[in-house]
Amino acid sequence: MCFGFRPCCFRPSNTRTTRSPGSEVSTSISSASQEIDRDWALAILQPALMQQGIYSRGRFGAWRYEIGNMDHSVLMGVEAANHIVRGEKELVFYSS
């Protein structure tokens, strides 16, 4: 489902879809390529969301799974709130 967002329907050309007898459809893509596609998309989407006052943070909101444990997710929310209210720099969201 795309929920009205056309970009999420995008499937990179290096995506392979297979169907095994009696199983669900599976799609595989190399993790390195997936990370590049994700980073490219986020470089466009996150600033566009922020211009609309939407601060998408946390493990799923920021799409930053490598820094997405509970501690980091909560800290991203606190830093986003401090940025909005006090103008403080967000450190976790912009870390690599």
Instruction: Of 28-37, 66-75, 82-91, give the lowest mean pLDDT range.
Output: 28-37
What are the angstrom distances between the C-alpha of 96 and each of 5, 14, 53, 66?
A: 27, 25, 23, 9
Q: Please name the amino acid found at residue 22.
A: G
Whole-structure pTM value: 0.58
Q: What is the C-alpha to C-alpha distance for residues 68 and 76, in angstroms, rounded to an integer? A: 9
pLDDT of 64 above 60: yes
**Greater model confidence, 36 or 82:** 82
Residue 17 lies in a domain: no
pLDDT of 2 above 80: no
Residue 48 pLDDT level (bands cut at 50, 70, 90):
very high
Count how many domains the chain has. 1
Residue 75 lies in a domain: yes
Residue 4 lies in a domain: no
**Greater model confidence, 25 or 66:** 66
Residue 83 lies in a domain: yes
Please give the residue range of the domain that contains residue 58.
Answer: 25-96
Q: What is the DSSP letter of 91?
A: S
Residue 80 lies in a domain: yes
Residue 71 lies in a domain: yes
Residue 3 lies in a domain: no
**Greater model confidence, 66 or 35:** 66
Residue 53 lies in a domain: yes
